[in-house]
C-alpha cells in the first residue's frame, strides 16, 4: 500500500478529529492503520442502527461495505446521522446505498472507479477461452484416465478468435473487454445508455438497440452497472435471441442476467457455455439452477474476478486518497450521485 497521498498536514490543527464509521468487515485496527496519518476516529459497526444516538450524531464519514449482501445506508439511516458529510464506497458498485437520499441531504457518495477493470477484463477473456475450449471437460477426462486429444473437437471445442462479441455496458470494464477481444480478432459491438466518443470506443461499434446487439453476439458480456433501468435487462426472452452455441459471460452485478434462463439454455444445448462471477443472491444459494447446469460448459467464481494483488493496492490507494481529499477540503473524486465534490463538515 502506498501512503504517498497522506503525508501530514491533513485537517485544521484545532479541529476535533473526524468520526469515520466503518461498515467494512475488517478489524478496526486495520482501518485505523489505513488512515493513521489523518485526523480520524474510526468506529466499527455492522449496522448504523446498532449505534447509540449520541454516536450516530457524531458521524462525519461512512466507509461502506463492499459485500452486496450487506446493508448500506438507506434513507432512514441517513436521517439518523445529521452530521454525515461524506460516504466512500470501497468498490465500484454503490447499489447498497440509497444514492437519492444521500443526494437530497447534500452528501457526496463516491466509489473507486476502474480500480478492478484490468482484473475483470482478464477474467472475462480467460472465462471465454475456458468455456469455449472446454478446459474443464478435457481436464476431467484426463483425470479419469482418458486422453481426449482428438475427441475434444468433436465435443465442441471452438476458438474465440473472430467470433462477434457484444458488450452490455461500456465503462472501464466494458472498454477493457473491447480492447482485449479486438486483439483476438473479434468484431466488437457495445450497448450503453450513451455512445462514447470515437477515442473511447477502441474500435468497437455502438448499437442503440440492445436486442439487436444480443441477436448478433456469439459472445455476450454483461458489464453494465446494476440499477432500476438495468435490473432484469438480459431476461429469458432477450437471451433467446442469442445465436445457437453462443457464450454468456457475466462480470458486473447479479440481477441483470436471468440465471435460470441461462441454466435452461445450457441444458438444452442452445448455449455453448456460460461463466458467472456475480449473482442475484450472494453467496450463491445451494439450490441455484446454475449449480445443476452442465459442469463442462459452466464456469462459476465467487465474485472474485476483480480481486488481485494489484487491484487491491489500487483500491486501498484510491480509498486513502479520497478520504484524504475530504478531510483536507479538496474536491473528492468519483462522485456518483451528482452532489458537489467539496465535502463540508457539519459538526
Cβ pair 134, 296 in contact under 8 A: yes
The active-site residue, picked from 56, 58, 97, 303, is 303
CA-nearest of 86, 96, 102 to 66 is 96
Cβ pair 37, 62 in contact under 8 A: no
d(C-alpha 152, C-alpha 155), whole Å: 5
The active-site residue, picked from 253, 297, 314, 325, is 253
Query: 161-182 in b/e burial notation, b at 16+ Cβ within 10 A?
Result: eebbbbbbbbbbbbbbbbebbe
User: Among this protein's residues, is 56 annotated catalytic?
Assistant: no
User: Among this protein's residues, is 5 annotated catalytic?
Assistant: no
Q: Which DSSP symbol is given to 343?
A: -
Query: 188-220 in b/e burial notation, b at 16+ Cβ within 10 A?
Result: bbbbbeeebeeeebbebeebeebeebbebbbbb
Q: Which DSSP symbol is given to 257?
A: B
Active site residues: 253, 303
Amino acid at each position: 500500500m502506498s501512503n504517498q497521498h497522506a503525508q501530514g498536514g491533513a485537517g485544521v490543527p484545532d479541529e476535533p478529529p473526524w468520526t469515520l464509521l466503518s461498515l467494512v468487515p475488517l478489524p478496526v485496527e486495520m482501518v485505523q492503520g489505513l488512515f493513521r496519518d489523518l485526523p480520524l476516529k474510526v468506529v466499527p459497526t455492522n449496522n448504523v442502527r446498532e449505534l447509540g444516538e449520541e454516536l450516530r450524531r457524531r458521524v462525519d464519514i461512512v466507509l461502506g461495505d463492499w459485500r452486496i449482501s450487506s446493508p448500506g445506508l438507506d434513507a432512514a439511516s441517513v436521517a439518523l446521522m445529521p452530521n454525515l458529510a461524506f460516504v466512500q464506497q470501497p468498490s465500484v458498485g454503490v447499489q447498497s446505498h440509497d444514492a437519492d437520499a444521500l443526494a437530497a441531504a447534500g452528501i457526496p457518495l463516491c466509489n473507486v472507479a476502474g480500480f478492478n477493470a484490468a482484473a475483470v477484463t482478464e477474467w472475462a477473456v480467460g472465462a471465454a477461452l475456458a468455456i469455449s475450449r472446454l478446459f474443464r471437460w478435457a481436464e476431467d477426462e484426463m483425470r479419469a484416465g482418458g486422453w481426449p486429444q482428438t475427441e475434444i473437437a468433436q465435443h465442441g471445442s471452438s476458438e474465440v478468435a473472430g467470433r462477434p462479441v457484444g458488450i452490455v455496458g461500456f465503462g472501464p470494464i466494458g472498454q477493457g473487454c473491447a480492447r482485449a477481444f479486438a486483439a483476438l480478432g473479434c468484431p466488437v459491438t457495445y450497448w450503453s445508455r450513451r455512445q462514447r466518443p470515437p477515442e473511447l470506443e477502441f474500435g468497437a461499434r455502438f448499437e442503440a438497440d440492445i436486442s439487436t446487439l444480443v441477436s448478433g453476439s456469439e459472445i455476450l458480456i454483461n458489464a453494465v452497472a446494476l440499477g432500476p433501468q438495468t435490473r432484469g435487462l438480459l431476461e429469458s426472452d432477450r437471451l433467446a435471441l442469442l445465436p445457437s452455441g453462443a457464450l454468456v459471460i457475466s462480470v458486473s452485478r447479479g440481477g441483470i442476467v436471468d440465471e435460470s434462463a441461462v441454466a435452461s439454455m445450457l441444458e438444452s444445448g442452445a448455449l455453448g457455455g456460460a461463466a458467472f462471477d456475480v449473482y442475484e443472491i450472494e453467496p450463491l444459494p445451494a439450490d441455484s439452477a446454475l449449480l445443476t447446469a452442465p459442469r463442462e460448459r459452466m464456469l462459476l467464481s465467487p465474485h472474485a474476478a476483480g480481486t488481485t494483488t494489484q487491484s487491491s493496492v489500487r483500491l486501498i490507494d484510491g480509498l486513502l486518497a479520497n478520504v484524504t481529499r475530504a478531510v483536507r477540503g479538496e474536491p473528492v473524486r468519483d462522485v456518483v450521485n451528482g452532489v458537489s465534490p467539496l465535502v463540508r463538515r457539519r459538526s
